[in-house]
């Protein structure tokens, strides 16, 4: 069994990866996507999205972090992958799932799921551009507007040399709405020889068991569930682990705010805190009220003052 922390742009940054991998239960992380358009990005960009590249490609807890690229052009993606490859990553992942309008309009992310041959060409070009010992993997949704091409897409990705495929079990059109269609994962797993990682709508240990049962997968990725319930991966890995109490969550928020001190821009830092508090509200009652009272704040100090007032009663 393996558990991966999902890439989440604007949420799962180097600090969140540090905090969650220290809690435990994760075997792998994937960076926020690095958008590749029509130029070769400087090394500084890759170090910004994945500062772990400077420390052997692992979080302080020792969990590997793979670098995720997103784009639509095989050649320029390959040139960028070559740069990433020279920075000693422990893996490169390709994003074929992003539903954002701006991204899809510019022909990247989930819009590529309409063209299996393009997925193939991208994976193949990136595979050739990085040293053989660096694994190249991909992450896809079940389709763009419908699921007709889901198997064809998965097979194209495998055929092009990916060592692993993560499937977010929804189409682009289905966005992030429940349910995730775990029943589509079993046929993909049966058709492919590479590991298929199940992703989508795992919020509790019970959801994990249900996903495992329906999909038959042994590898999993959790995103929003891990942010909303920071002990989730640990609870899944260790049967005797329990959901963190609210006091522990408050301590984590304080820790995250301290780490965020390394990020430029107080508005950005405030945004990250708000994103986490909002998602925590899905599993921790006090956070729903907390989010309502801080949602207009633009200063991390203001947000933390409210958080701390709750911790002291």
Ligand X SMILES: Cc1cc2nc3c(=O)[nH]c(=O)nc-3n(C[C@H](O)[C@H](O)[C@H](O)COP(=O)(O)O)c2cc1C
Determine if 71 is a binding residue for ligand X (CB under 6 A).
Answer: no
Cα 164 from Cα 68, distance rounded (Å): 13
CB closer to ligand X, 33 vs 244: 33
Query: Which stretch, 206-214, 218-226, 254-262, 284-292, contacts ligand X (CB under 6 A)?
Result: 218-226
DSSP state of 182: G
Cα 3 from Cα 28, distance rounded (Å): 7
Subset of 85-114 contacting ligand X (CB under 6 A)? 95, 97
| Min separation Cβ 280 and ligand X, Å | 14
CB closer to ligand X, 168 vs 189: 168
Count the site residues for ligand X by CB under 6 A: 22
Subset of 110-149 contacting ligand X (CB under 6 A)? 139
Determine if 283 is a binding residue for ligand X (CB under 6 A).
Answer: no
Cα 222 from Cα 227, distance rounded (Å): 9
Which ranges of 179-220 would DSSP assign to H, the alpha helix? 185-191, 205-215
Determine if 207 is a binding residue for ligand X (CB under 6 A).
Answer: no
| Min separation Cβ 141 and ligand X, Å | 8
Q: Which residue is nearest to ligand X (CB)?
A: 223
For the beta carbon of residue 231, count every other beta carbon within 10 angstroms: 23
Residue of 4, 124, 137, 199 that binds ligand X (CB under 6 A) = 199
Q: DSSP secondary structure string, 111-152? A: GGGG-HHHHHHHHHHHHHHS-TTS-EEEEEEEESSSSTTHHH
| Min separation Cβ 109 and ligand X, Å | 8
Q: DSSP secondary structure string, 269-306? A: HHHHHHHHHHHHTTT-HHHHHHHHHHTT---HHHHHHH
Kindly list the catalytic residues.
Answer: 98
CB closer to ligand X, 2 vs 310: 2
How far is the CA of 245 from the CAs of 71, 153, 282, in angstroms? Answer: 41, 42, 14
Determine if 68 is a binding residue for ligand X (CB under 6 A).
Answer: yes
> Do strands 34-35 and 92-96 pair parallel, antiparallel, or not at all (unpaired)?
unpaired
Footprint of ligand X (CB under 6 A)? 6-11, 32-33, 68, 95, 97, 139, 168, 176, 199-202, 222-225
């Amino acid at each position: 069994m393996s558990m991966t922390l999902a890439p989440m742009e604007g949420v799962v940054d180097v600090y969140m990866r540090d905090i969650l991998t220290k809690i435990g239960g994760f075997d792998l992380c994937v960076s926020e996507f690095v958008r590749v358009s029509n130029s070769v990005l400087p090394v500084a960009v890759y170090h910004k999205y994945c500062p772990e590249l400077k420390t052997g490609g692992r979080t302080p807890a020792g969990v590997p972090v793979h670098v995720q690229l997103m784009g639509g052009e095989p050649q320029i993606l390959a040139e960028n992958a070559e740069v990433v490859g020279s920075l000693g990553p422990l893996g490169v992942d390709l994003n074929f799932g992003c539903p954002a309008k701006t991204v899809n309009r510019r022909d990247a992310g989930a819009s590529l799921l309409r063209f299996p041959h393009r997925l193939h060409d991208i994976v193949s070009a990136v595979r050739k551009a990085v040293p053989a010992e660096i694994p190249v993997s991909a992450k896809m949704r079940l389709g763009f507007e419908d699921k007709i091409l889901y198997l064809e897409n998965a097979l194209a990705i495998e055929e092009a040399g990916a060592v692993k495929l993560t499937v977010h079990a929804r189409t682009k059109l289905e966005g992030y709405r429940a349910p995730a269609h775990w029943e589509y994962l079993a046929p993909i797993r049966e058709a492919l020889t590479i590991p298929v990682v199940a992703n989508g709508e795992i919020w509790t240990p019970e959801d994990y068991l249900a996903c495992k049962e329906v999909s038959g997968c042994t590898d999993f990725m959790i995103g929003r569930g891990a942010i909303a319930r920071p002990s989730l991966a640990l609870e899944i890995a260790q049967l005797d682990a329990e959901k963190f109490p609210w006091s522990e969550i408050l301590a984590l928020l304080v820790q995250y705010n301290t780490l965020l001190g390394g990020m430029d821009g107080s508005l950005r830092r405030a945004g990250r805190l708000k994103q986490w508090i909002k998602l925590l509200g899905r599993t921790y009652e006090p956070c729903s009220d907390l989010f309502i009272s801080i949602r207009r704040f633009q200063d991390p100090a203001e947000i933390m003052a409210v958080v701390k007032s709750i911790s002291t009663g």
